[in-house]
Amino acid sequence: MTHTLATLDTPAAIVSLPRVQHNIARMQARADALGVRLRPHVKTTKCAQVVAAQRAAGAQGITVSTLKEAEQFFAQGITDILYAVAMAQHRLPQALALRQRGCALQILTDSMEGARAIAEFGRAQGHAFDVLVEIDTDGHRSGIAPDDALLLEVAGTLHGAGMRLLGVLTHAGSSYALDDPVALAALAEQERAGCVRAAERLRAAGLPCPVVSVGSTPTALEAAALPSVTELRAGVYVFFDLVMRNVGVCRDDELALSVLTTVIGHQADKGWAIVDAGWMAMSRDRGTARQSRDYGYGQVCTVDGAPIAGYLLSGANQEHGIVSHAEGSDPAIATRFPVGTRLRIWPNHACATGAQFPAYQALAQDGSITTWERFHGW
């Protein structure tokens, strides 16, 4: 059966094809203008069709957050894969098996324990892993500070053991907390400069460092220039979401993911419409709660995707969502959104919301819908 927005079962994860294509073209043009390779992070979608569109537009290689993503995309013919989470020792045999099957898997570390584990396992197996060292440029999460003595120790250990030292990688994840283009451009420069500084220290020590990899969607879009950087990674730009809207790096008409839902009841005296998109559909992500504008669990839109000013998904249980007006109760909620009304909800965080669904429903300009599967788990 061919579905439309009127016939799909709800809740459903709707992906606007024209917007995804636009977003992909926008980031690719950005990378091209900056003179760097775009290696999209596929953790946002975990979906073959989206990644194929990114590659068709010019992306070179992909970034993954789990070895399952590496396995799945390698099975789809992608060989140039960067696993951008510090390598755990117990996953080395799986990484080796992938490489022996022909996957050019790159791995990451930011500790002496990690470097030693890779070096020892690689030596024992007679295998030279391709390894990047993670750099911390914003105190956000992982990585070695660019000027830390540990950097040369880790890189030297890998190189000395015969591993292929590819270079340095950083992710300025603190960009999600900003909402000003000047501050974002400054953070992008901090991210770039810190990573380049780390690369220069490696080279000055006689160590190889062909790759300088940076990125997050906000810094990628607001960077003034990326001299000495070779590679840009970004993920959520392919869908964007309300968090990115608050950061200020996308417009409403670039929000490509929404959740289709049906009104199933009301508490009219409270101004509530009850819908069948709860947290199981939206995820529990409340990323906009800490931003300039709090959208609750999401912005309510018409079935055609137009935002309805003031109406938010203000509450969520597992399979129930509460739609209400952000500023005071709407006494006419039951006539405004009668039982059976279909709505679409823009989510806070596209990566988290997408992960709640086994598939996306890809909505073409002509209203036709194609199911695009995605995978989950590890």
Binding site for its own copies (CB under 8 A): 7, 9-12, 43, 65-66, 85-91, 110-111, 113-114, 117, 136, 139, 141-142, 173, 262, 264-267, 270, 274, 276, 279-280, 283-286, 317-320, 322, 338-340, 349, 351-352, 355-359, 376-378
Output 302 or 335, the one with its CB closest to its own copies: 335
Output 34 or 278, the one with its CB closest to its own copies: 278
CB of 14 to its own copies, least distance (A): 13
Output 49 or 230, the one with its CB closest to its own copies: 49
Q: Return d(Cα 173, Cα 219) in angstroms, integer.
A: 9
Output 231 or 276, the one with its CB closest to its own copies: 276
Strand runs labelled E in 317-375: 321-325, 342-346, 359-363, 369-373
In Å, how far are 112, 174, 378 from 105, measured between CA atoms?
21, 27, 17
CB of 35 to its own copies, least distance (A): 28
Output 230 or 237, the one with its CB closest to its own copies: 237
User: What is the residue type of 309?
Assistant: A
Q: What is the DSSP letter of 239?
A: T
CB of 228 to its own copies, least distance (A): 26
Output 9 or 253, the one with its CB closest to its own copies: 9
CB of 70 to its own copies, least distance (A): 13
CB 231 within 8 A of CB 39: yes
What length does the chain have? Answer: 378
CB 343 within 8 A of CB 337: yes
* Residue partners of 202: CB distance under 8 A and separation at least 6: 133, 151, 152, 155, 165, 167, 168, 208, 209
Output 34 or 48, the one with its CB closest to its own copies: 48
Output 22 or 85, the one with its CB closest to its own copies: 85
CB of 315 to its own copies, least distance (A): 8
Give helix then strand counts, H and E, for the chain: 12, 17
CB of 283 to its own copies, least distance (A): 6
CB of 273 to its own copies, least distance (A): 11
CB of 290 to its own copies, least distance (A): 12
Q: Return d(Cα 275, Cα 47) in angstroms, integer.
A: 27
Burial 260-277 (b: 16+ CB within 10 A, else e): bbbbbebeeeebbbbbbb
Output 150 or 252, the one with its CB closest to its own copies: 150
Nearest to 300 by CA among 324, 319, 331: 324
CB 107 within 8 A of CB 170: no
CB of 245 to its own copies, least distance (A): 18
Q: Return d(Cα 160, Cα 182) in angstroms, integer.
A: 42
Question: Tokens for 224?
Answer: 């003034």
